[in-house]
């Protein structure tokens, strides 16, 4: 995710300042009585400006909301899957259990409040995630039995549960060089097919490993 903002030239005859955009976002959020604001809600609740214009001005819709202190999360449309994916992304990024305050900044894309509303508390959210990722949650999004979800050999991209299992098995460290984001911030772990997918490698726990971006790049260069 980029935090970079790019400037958009003013449309002649319609000069709108950043301050005006922010003021209108705040106005609509207050009017709607919410602390999160989707583009759809902004329009339907009487937002004055074009959502695309706002998003371009600040780099993204989320960045625009951040700029005015409105949560980036779209609570209405947000799914458990997205909440869990965000937690896994943080776990993978930090190489350890994420902390509540880390929801507030990248790479997190969901703020704390949707977790609290859905799961009651941060601890509740973490427990729900671990239950889900370990495959013990009652409600799974897919009807498939857990075995097929875990092996997931039909597609190239491993499921959340499979990625979690790979990272956990590898203790969130690179299988080639032992680098860990928990020890060296900035180390980026990838999930790698040991036998490449293009050469018939399966998307299974046995054929997947955690590699840091450096080792992963080195591997793909020698293939
Ligand atoms: Zn490595």
> Which run of H or E residues covers position 191?
strand 189-193
Six token digits for residue 212: 């840091």
User: Ligand 1 centre from 200 Cα, in Å?
Assistant: 24
Q: Is the pLDDT of residue 120 over 50?
A: yes
Residue 80: per-residue pLDDT: 87
User: Ligand 1 centre from 186 Cα, in Å?
Assistant: 12
Q: Is the pLDDT of residue 172 over 70?
A: yes
- Spatial distance between the Cα atoms of 66 and 60, rounded to a whole number of angstroms: 10
User: Ligand 1 centre from 188 Cα, in Å?
Assistant: 9
User: Ligand 1 centre from 101 Cα, in Å?
Assistant: 28
Residue 211 sits at φ, ψ, to 5 deg, of -130, 145
User: Ligand 1 centre from 201 Cα, in Å?
Assistant: 21
Q: Which of 80-84, 152-156, 218-222 has the highest mean pLDDT?
A: 80-84
Residue 145: per-residue pLDDT: 43
More confident residue, 58 or 74: 58
User: Ligand 1 centre from 62 Cα, in Å?
Assistant: 32
């Amino acid at each position: 995710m980029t935090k970079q903002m790019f400037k958009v030239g003013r449309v002649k005859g319609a000069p709108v300042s950043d301050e005006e955009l922010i003021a209108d976002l705040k106005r609509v959020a207050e009017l709607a009585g919410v602390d999160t604001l989707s583009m759809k809600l902004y329009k339907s609740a009487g937002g004055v400006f074009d959502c695309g214009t706002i998003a371009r001005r600040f780099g993204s819709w989320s960045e625009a909301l951040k700029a005015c202190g409105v949560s980036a999360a779209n609570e209405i449309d947000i799914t458990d899957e997205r909440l869990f994916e965000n937690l896994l992304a943080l776990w993978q990024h930090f190489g350890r259990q994420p902390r509540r305050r880390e929801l507030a900044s990248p790479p997190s894309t969901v703020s704390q409040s949707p977790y609290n509303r859905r799961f009651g508390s941060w601890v509740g959210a973490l427990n729900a995630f671990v239950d889900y990722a370990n495959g013990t949650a009652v409600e799974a999004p897919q009807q498939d039995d857990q075995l097929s979800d875990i092996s997931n050999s039909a597609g190239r991209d491993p499921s959340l549960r499979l990625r979690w299992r790979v990272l956990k098995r590898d203790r969130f460290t690179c299988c080639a060089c032992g680098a860990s984001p928990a020890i060296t911030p900035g180390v980026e772990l990838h999930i790698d097919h040991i036998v490449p997918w293009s050469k018939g490698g399966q998307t299974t726990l046995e054929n997947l490993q955690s590699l840091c971006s450096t080792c992963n790049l080195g591997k793909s260069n020698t293939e």
